[in-house]
């Protein structure tokens, strides 16, 4: 006879909920409401999607949303509108802005516009990734500075104990050895922080250069 604990049942239920979560999220985020589906201005809907750089698969999400209201998208009108929207979206300044925000390019631009768009996008993306590296270094530096401060406080405490009255010779030897070891660790941490700050300064210089040379 199977003996399934309450804990196991709870875990099973949680796993089931996690598996269903993406489906529930998709169903809760319909792309169009009933009025938009009923109006059926698919050229305008396509134009708006194209202006935002939406992938071609976006029409499938609209189809799913409008199926609830028994409305089918006009694919030809949508495609015409989307292509017109993409002509406005696939400009270098939009590519640059998309890259700066860390957005993923979905290969939506026509061949005639894609080359210039991608050059600008990669410029913006380089700045975005470099700034992300700077933020990561800043977090690391802050964490190590906090650890160094804790180490400094510990050294102060041990040094105070070393010179205090009533400390036996054996304990003094232990304290001296511990202080020497911690002092060495202190120097290593200080050097690491200095190197990290130099790396951060280099990256900040790279960002400044990229921004100065960017035509966007």
pLDDT value of position 40: 80
8-34 pLDDT, tens per residue?
A: 444 444 344 434 434 333 344 577 888
Q: What is the pTM of this model?
A: 0.71
Enumerate long-range contacts of 26-33, CB under 8 Å, 24 or more apart: 30/64, 30/65, 30/68, 31/58, 31/61, 31/62, 31/65, 32/62, 32/65, 32/66
pLDDT digits (tens, 9 = 90+) for 171-209: 999 999 999 999 999 999 999 999 999 999 999 999 999
Distance of CA 120 to the CA centre of its chain: 20
The burial class, CB within 10 Å (0-12 / 13-18 / 19+), for 143 is: exposed
Nearest to 33 by CA among 6, 71, 60: 71
Count, in order, helices (H) and strands (E) of the chain: 8, 0
CA-to-CA distance for 188 and 198, rounded, in angstroms? Answer: 15
Q: What is the C-alpha separation between 93 and 73, in angstroms, rounded?
A: 31
Residues contacting 106, CB < 8 A, separation 6+: 53, 54, 55
**CA distance readout (Å), 212 to 107, 131, 154:** 28, 15, 46
Contact (Cβ atoms closer than 8 angstroms) between residue 72 and residue 66? yes
Render pLDDT for 93-137 as a digit per residue (tens, 0 to 9): 999 999 999 999 999 999 999 999 999 999 999 999 999 999 999
- Rounded CA separation 65/77 (Å): 18
pLDDT of residue 54: 92
């Amino acid at each position: 006879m199977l003996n399934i604990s309450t804990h196991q049942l709870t875990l099973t239920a949680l796993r089931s909920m996690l598996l269903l979560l993406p489906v529930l999220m998709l169903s809760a985020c319909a792309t169009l409401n009933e009025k938009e589906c009923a109006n059926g201005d698919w050229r305008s809907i396509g134009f708006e999607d194209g202006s935002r750089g939406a992938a071609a698969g976006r029409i499938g999400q609209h189809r799913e949303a409008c199926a609830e209201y028994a409305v089918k998208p006009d694919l030809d009108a949508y495609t015409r509108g989307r292509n017109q929207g993409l002509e406005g979206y696939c400009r270098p300044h939009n590519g640059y802005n998309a890259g700066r925000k860390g957005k993923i390019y979905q290969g939506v631009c026509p061949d005639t516009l894609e080359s210039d768009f991608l050059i600008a996008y990669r410029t913006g993306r380089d700045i975005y990734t470099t700034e992300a590296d700077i933020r990561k270094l800043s977090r690391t530096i802050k964490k190590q500075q906090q650890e160094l401060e804790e180490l400094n406080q510990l050294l102060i405490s041990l040094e105070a104990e070393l010179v205090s009255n009533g400390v036996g010779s054996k304990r003094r030897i232990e304290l001296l050895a511990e202080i020497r070891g911690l002092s060495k660790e202190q120097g290593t941490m200080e050097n690491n922080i200095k190197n990290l700050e130099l790396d951060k300064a280099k990256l900040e210089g790279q960002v400044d250069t990229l921004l100065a040379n960017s035509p966007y």
